Structure 1
Amino acid sequence: MTHAARLVRHERGVPVYEYRTDLGSSPVAVLHAAGHERPGGDRPHIHAFPVLMYAPDARVLYLVAPGRAVESPALHGIRDGIGVYFDPAALGPDGRAPWPAWRAHPLLFPFVHGKADGLLRLDLPASRQPFWDSTIASVEAELARRADGYREAALAHLTLLLIDVARLAADVVGDLRRSGEPLLAKVFEVIDQRHTEPLSLRDVAAAVGLTPGHLTTVVRRRTGRTVQDWITERRMTEARRLLADTDLPIAEVARRIGLSDPGYFTRMFRHHNGIAPRQWRNGGLSAPPAARRSPESS
């Protein structure tokens, strides 16, 4: 099976993996821990996308928070578990926003649970296990057959799983939803609304009423990344969507994500995605082997 994740950078020495969004990649992937290497293996690593781990024998679910350094859930006794990986952007426009903004998304919010170890454990009632087993099997069947409409069918099954997760996690994350992070919510609202125009740290700071230095400290402390990092991530997500869904010239794609210099956009895109925009649009077929090779997967 095509690896679901690829190594894109390191943060303080910890590898960061993003969901593969190459043309032809499925928006959902299922990996069985037994017999497969997991992205990051058993070493500490970071996923920049949601991961759902299911241990049928123990009837346990783990929600792996994006942006948190975690060790493989295998270390928590689920070596025979099943990993469900997915591209949050496939769930609609709200899923394209940087992950802290998912607090407004009913299906993604449980993954921003704030647990220190990056893992939220949910015990699955025995009555729900047949549903989980059959729904995951349905996702796998769609991905194996790849018949017409398989992407939509796989996403439909994933949505049912995420609805069940949201219901199971309602009590666990209720306090977090009520307390919230109003400042972070405002920061990512500004980024989401203005990433298509020239936008800087100073602009975001002015919009939320803080000095650039103070805002940088707060955002880095709470997310591990800078405001500029989040602006860039939102722009790259939109750029990948435009490259996949339209035939717009590269210069126009750059303009639509707030960058006036196509050359700078191309360099930025290559740095963050491993290949140039035109190569990504073509499914990476013309990319050099090093850029196409994915890491061993979790």
Structure 2
Amino acid sequence: MRTRRTAPNADEPATYTWQPAPGELAVAAMRLGHGADVNGAHEAHAHDFPGLAYFAEPGGVVRTGKQVRHVEAGDLFVIAPGDVMGRTHSDDLLDAHGWGVFFTADALGPDTPGAHLAWRTHPLLFPFVHGRAVDALRLRVPEQQRGEWTARVEALHDELRHRREGYREAVSAHLVLLLVAVSRLAADVVGDLRENAEPLLAEVFDVIERRYPEPLSLREVAAAVRISPGHLTSTVRRRTGRTVQEWITERRMVQARRLLAVTDLPIGDIGRQVGFPDPGYFARTFGKVHGTSPTRWRGSNQLNGR
């Protein structure tokens, strides 16, 4: 799992962005417990992608925001993009027995809305919409379901590890089943979130969704939602861990990846369709985000059937 670290201000936690390698499926499953890759150097941080931390047995602690939560049997932490995780200590998970699952919206298939919009419109992603407004959502898996949860995550991990023929479809199926289970556990909480949804973020994402194929700046988004650029910047960063411009770029990259994977359009034409009139600037931006050129990304992903 390769990530890029950004730290906009010295007094704010860093944000990590997932950078999949060419052809990589953006889903990861890892053990949380003795022997996990955790040491005292792990800082307070946030991710701009969602995750789950599930513990079938008690033991260890999870640091979310400024809280230290002692893990109980059946604990499930729903980690939204932008949720701040506290600085990890070397012995936090020494006695824990759990799994972490991380993914991007793209992993749910080519028909998933743009990543930033998906958290509000995809029924399986709504438990992740709260962002930095609250700490990571804590749910409890009933005792009679814990064996099934463990088996499902282990099967997901096995598919990702061995990559047998058809593993992409198998991983997607296991992930969807996990998210269905999360949604059922979170039904009451999700209802509250729907009633108290972030109206400003909804407006911002709607503007981006409608206008990302054309030139679009922070000032133009701010004018469309009728607040100052400075206020918009601070609010969106606090709630999601990203700037408005980063969300615009993310939406454009989601569409660019789709066009690269399923069409034979020239690279320059794809760039123009996603808001980059200059082909060179499109290629540089794509390379900065993905660590490879649009041409190489297309070759890897078309060969893999995406």
TM-score for the superposition, normalised by structure 2:
0.79
Match of 1:98, SS?
A: helix
Distance 2:6 2:300 in 1: 21
Counterpart of 2:64? none
Q: Which residue of structure 2 lines up, in the alignment, with residue 64 of structure 1?
A: 79
Question: Which residue is equivalent to 1:89?
Answer: 106
Matched, 1:179 2:176: no
Q: Which fold has the larger relative contact order, with Cα–Cα distance below 8 Å and residues 6 or more apart in sequence?
A: 1
Q: What is the aligned-residue RMSD (CA, Å)?
A: 2.9
Task: Give 1:43's aligned residue.
Answer: 43
Matches within 5 A, 1:102-117: 102-114=119-131
Tell me what 1:29 maps to: 28
TM-superposition CA deviations, 1:150-181 (whole Å, max 9, x none):
21121111111111111111223322210111
Deviations along 1:199-224, whole A, 9 cap, x unmatched? 22343234334454554454344334
Segment drifting more, 29-38 vs 58-67: 29-38
Does the 8 Å contact 2:104/2:115 carry over to 1?
no
* Structure 1 CA distance for aligned equivalents of residues 87 and 99 of structure 2: 12
Task: Note closer, same or farther for the CA distance 1:22–1:238 as it changes in structure 2 (3 Å cut).
Answer: farther
Is residue 63–residue 121 contact of structure 1 (8 Å, CA) maintained in 2?
Answer: yes
Amino acid at match of 2:287: R
Q: Is the 8 A contact 1:15 1:46 kept in 2?
A: yes
Equivalent residue for 1:292?
none
Residues of 1 paired with 2:172 and 2:40: CA distance? 25
**Change beyond 3 A, Cα 1:20–1:220:** closer
CA contact (8 A) 2:15 2:241 kept: no
Superposition deviation, residue 45 in structure 1: 1.8
Equivalent in the alignment of 1:11: 8
Residues 1:189 and 2:186 aligned together: no
The match for 2:60 is none
Measured in 2, the distance between the counterparts of 1:169 and 1:29 equals: 22
Cα–Cα, structure 1 residues 221 and 45, in superposed 2: closer, same or farther, change >3 Å? closer
CA distance in 1, matches of 2:219, 2:284: 23
Alignment check: 8 A CA contact 1:98 1:234 kept: yes
Aligned residues: 280
d(CA) in 1 for partners of 2:116 and 2:259? Answer: 17
Structure 2 vs 1, CA of residues 76 and 171 (structure 1 numbering), >3 Å: closer, same or farther?
A: farther
Q: 2:155 aligns with which of 138, 154, 170?
A: 138
Secondary structure of the corresponding residue to residue 24 of structure 2: coil
For 1:293, the equivalent position in structure 2 comes to: none
Structure-2 separation of matches of 1:18 and 1:222: 16
Rounded to whole Å, the distance in 1 between the matches of 2:171 and 2:132 is 29
Does the 8 Å contact 1:22/1:283 carry over to 2?
A: no
1:98 has 2:135 as partner: no
- Flag the 1:5–1:79 CA change in 2: closer, same or farther, 3 A: farther
Structure 1 Cα separation of the partners of residues 270 and 187 of structure 2 = 39
Within-5 A mapping of 1:222-261: 222-261=239-278
Q: Residues 269 and 276 of structure 1 are in contact (CA less than 8 Å); yes or no, is this contact kept in structure 2?
A: yes
Give the Cα separation in 2 of the matches to 1:40 and 1:194.
44
The Cα offsets for residues 241-293 of structure 1, whole Å up to 9 and x where unpaired, read as 33344443221221121110011112222333333333444559xxxxxxxxx
- Of residues 226-235 and 238-247 in structure 1, the stretch that sits farther from structure 2 once superposed is 238-247
Using the size of structure 1 for normalisation, the TM-score is 0.81
Q: Quick one: distance in 2 between partners of 1:103 and 1:176?
A: 10
How far off its partner does 1:6 sit? 1.5
